[in-house]
Amino acid sequence: MRLFPKDGIFYDLFEKQVEKLNKAVQLLKELDKKNKSLDNVAKQMEKLESEADDIGHSVVEHLITSFITPIEGDDIDILRQELDNIMDDIEKAVNRIVIYKLSRPLPKEIKEYVEIIERAISEIDKGVREIRDVRKFQDNLHYRCQKLNKLENEGDEINRRALKDLMDIKKITPKKNLKIIKLKEIYETLERAIDCCENVGNIFESILIKNR
């Protein structure tokens, strides 16, 4: 058994996870381009999600075999899980948009959700680099926590408005009912991804408190 983890291995793996998230949100954006094959985007997303899973498994393997970790093992595992949850929700949103064959351009609410997710992942990307040296970057990490919380609030606002608009249809038909069901699921999946991004901010805060 290896008692001391290779320097930076957990940080390296987290950065690789976030790299996959950056690629995933770009694929999500590509769904709105008329010249893009939905099936091809879905296949790329499936491959990306599988690669991200492999990275997550590597985090667990190193955690199991490491007696000493650079930050608390619980924080490492929870951070891994939340990054994985973000990927899972993005993959599910892509999957549903493709399966449900949503017409393009996609509803503006989906674009608004995606913009927030992209901004949140950008903050997470910076944060996973800054936890390498918490004391040096404590002000930055505190800012990331606040920013991710504000983005989650923006996501809540979009969700309230999006659901209100869905329920505000005057004349209900079976076709419209089906559209409501499809969009509601996609909206809630994207909102959940934003919630998971805020959870990552909460983990940053936990790491900050324990290691300042």
Direct distance between the N- and C-terminal alpha carbons of the chain, in angstroms, rounded to an integer = 30
Tokens of 14: 């987290």
Q: What is the pLDDT of residue 7?
A: 55
CB hemisphere CA count around 200 (13 angstroms): 34
Q: Tell me the mean pLDDT in the region 83-112.
A: 94
Structure confidence by residue, pLDDT tens digits, 28-67: 999 988 777 888 999 999 999 999 999 999 999 999 988 7
Q: Is the pLDDT of residue 16 over 60?
A: yes
Q: Is 150 exposed, middle or buried (0-12, 13-18, 19+ CB in 10 A)?
A: middle
**By percentage, how much of the chain surpasses pLDDT 70?**
97
As given in the structure block, the two tokens for residue 207 are 């790491």
Give the contacts of 4 (CB within 8 A, at least 6 positions apart): 66, 67, 68
User: 125: closest CA among 57, 71, 200?
Assistant: 200
Q: Is the model's pLDDT at 85 over the cut of 60?
A: yes
Q: List pLDDT tens digits, range 140-163.
A: 999 999 999 999 999 999 999 998
Alpha-carbon span 81 to 59, nearest angstrom: 10
CATH number of the domain located at residue range(s) 9-211 in this protein: 1.20.58.220
What angle separates helix 108-130 from helix 9-30, to the nearest 10 degrees? 170
Distance CA 54, CA 194 (A): 23
Cβ count near 204 (within 10 Å)? 26
d(CA 62, CA 206): 21
Q: Each residue of 152-192: pLDDT tens digit?
A: 999 999 999 998 988 887 777 888 889 899 999 999 999 99
Cis bond before residue 105 (omega within 30° of 0): yes
pTM greater than 0.75: yes
pLDDT at 197 over 80: yes
Domain limits, the chain: 9-211
pLDDT at 5: 47
DSSP designation for 103: -
- 48 is written with which tokens? 């990306």
120-142 pLDDT, tens digit per residue, is 999 999 999 999 999 999 999 99
pLDDT at position 69 = 86
**DSSP state string for 57-97:** HHHHHHHHH-SS-SS-HHHHHHHHHHHHHHHHHHHHHHHHH
Residue 170's pLDDT is 72
Instruction: Determine contact, residues 131/183, Cβ cutoff 8 Å.
Output: no
Count CB atoms within 10 A of the CB of residue 56. Answer: 21
- Residues 53 and 182: their CA atoms lie apart, in Å, by 27
